[in-house]
Amino acid sequence: MYIILYTIKIKPNQEDKFIESWKGLTTLIYKYEGSLGSRLHKKDALNFFAYAQWPDKNTFDNAGGNLPEEANYFRNTMKASCEKFEVLEKFEMIEDLLKQQQSE
């Protein structure tokens, strides 16, 4: 598995817009580009971290060309709500000992 770690600083009063656009874009990337999804974490009022999971580096490197037009709306909304959105690290996962969630 290939992991991308992001750091995000949003503009004041933009949390709801950022989260909704992050969810929308992440859903499209999952559906159309083969990602395994992403998790968003809040550090404090304006600072977030996210990590995206991909099956492998090749899938990540080749992603981007299959997204529908609506991805631009989410991307533009995210950009407008952020002061900073950058990649901190990219790395391969070696072991996964997180407990799997049970479907109900």
In this prediction, the residues of the chain whose per-residue pLDDT falls under 50 are: none
Q: What is the pLDDT of residues 64-81, one digit of tens each?
A: 899 999 999 999 999 999
Range of the domain at 28: 2-92
CATH code of 20's domain:
3.30.70.100
Task: Please tell me the total count of domains within the chain.
Answer: 1
Residue 97 within a domain: no
List helix spans (H) across the chain.
Answer: 15-33, 57-61, 70-81
Residue 79 within a domain: yes
pTM: 0.88
pLDDT value, residue 103: 66
Residue 103 within a domain: no
Residue 100 within a domain: no
* 3-state secondary structure at position 9: strand
Residue 101 within a domain: no
